[in-house]
C-alpha cells in the first residue's frame, strides 16, 4: 500500500513538472544596439550590437550593414560567449521593466553637436535610434529607441548589461 502511495505521488509530480515545462512561455532573444553619433571616436564610444538568446548564448559584433550605413570607421569583431541563467534572469527583469508594447521612440529628433564657433559639427550625425532595444519572440516584436544622449534609457540599458556580466561600452564580457 505504501509503495502505491509513493508511486502515485512521484507519478503526479513527474506529470506536473512535464506540464509546467510545456506551458512555460519560451522567452525570445533580446537585441541591443548602441551606435555612436560621431563617425570617428577617440576614446570609449559604444558602437556595437549584442544579441542575447533565451538560453544565455550571446553574440556581440557590428550592427547589421543596413544599420551601420552612416560611414562609421569602427571595426568590431564578433565575440561569442555564454552567460549563466541567474544573470540572464536579472538582465531580463531589468529590461522588461522598460519594455513597450510594440514600437516606442523616446526621442523624435536628436541634437547635433556644435563646433567651438557654434556651427554644426559635420562629424556629428545623431539619430533617434542610436540606442535600440528589441525584444523578439515568436509572433511578437517590441522595439524601444532613443538618441545616444538619452541618459535615462542609456543608464538602464548599461546597468542591465553590467548585471549580465557585459561591459556596456564594448559589449564584451566583463572580466571576473
Q: Are 74 and 33 in contact (CB under 8 A)?
A: no
pLDDT of residue 62: 62
CB 59 within 8 A of CB 51: yes
**DSSP notation for 80-117:** EEE--HHHHHHHHHHHHTT--SSEEES-S--PPPB-TT
Query: What pLDDT is recorded for position 35?
Result: 87
pTM, entire model: 0.75
Q: Which of 139, 137, 123 is nearest to 37 (CA)?
A: 123
Of residues 56, 50, 72, the one with CA closest to residue 127 = 72
- The three cell numbers locating residue 38: 560621431
Give 143's Cβ-side CA count (13 Å radius): 11
Phi-psi region of 56 (alpha: psi -120 to 50; beta: other; left: phi over 0): left
User: Which has the closest alpha carbon to 127: 61, 69, 53?
Assistant: 69
At residue 77, the pLDDT reads 72
Q: Which residue has the cell 548599461?
A: 158
Report d(CA 24, CA 20) in Å as an integer. Answer: 6
Grid coordinates of 22:
510545456
Q: What is the pLDDT along the chain (176 residues), one digit of tens a residue?
A: 554 444 443 344 444 333 333 333 347 899 999 988 876 676 677 788 999 999 999 999 865 544 444 444 445 678 899 999 999 999 999 999 999 999 999 999 999 989 999 999 988 889 999 999 999 998 889 999 999 999 999 999 999 999 999 999 888 899 87
State the Rg of the chain over Cα: 21
- What domains are defined for the chain? 27-164 (3.30.1560)
Amino acid at each position: 500500500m505504501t509503495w502505491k502511495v509513493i508511486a502515485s505521488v512521484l507519478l503526479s509530480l513527474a506529470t506536473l513538472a512535464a506540464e509546467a515545462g510545456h506551458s512555460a512561455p519560451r522567452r525570445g532573444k533580446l537585441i541591443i544596439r548602441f551606435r555612436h553619433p560621431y563617425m570617428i571616436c577617440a576614446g570609449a564610444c559604444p558602437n556595437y550590437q549584442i544579441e542575447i538568446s533565451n538560453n544565455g548564448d550571446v553574440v556581440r559584433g557590428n550592427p547589421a550593414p543596413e544599420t551601420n550605413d552612416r560611414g562609421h570607421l569602427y571595426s568590431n569583431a564578433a565575440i561569442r560567449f555564454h552567460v549563466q541563467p541567474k544573470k540572464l534572469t536579472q538582465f531580463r527583469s531589468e529590461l522588461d521593466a522598460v519594455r513597450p508594447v510594440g514600437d516606442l521612440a523616446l526621442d523624435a529628433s536628436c541634437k547635433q553637436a556644435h563646433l567651438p564657433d557654434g556651427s554644426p559639427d559635420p562629424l556629428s550625425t545623431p539619430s533617434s535610434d542610436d540606442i535600440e532595444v528589441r525584444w523578439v519572440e515568436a509572433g511578437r516584436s517590441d522595439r524601444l529607441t532613443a538618441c545616444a544622449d538619452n541618459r535615462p534609457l542609456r543608464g538602464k540599458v548599461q546597468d542591465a548589461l553590467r548585471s549580465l556580466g557585459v561591459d556596456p561600452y564594448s559589449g564584451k564580457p566583463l572580466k571576473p
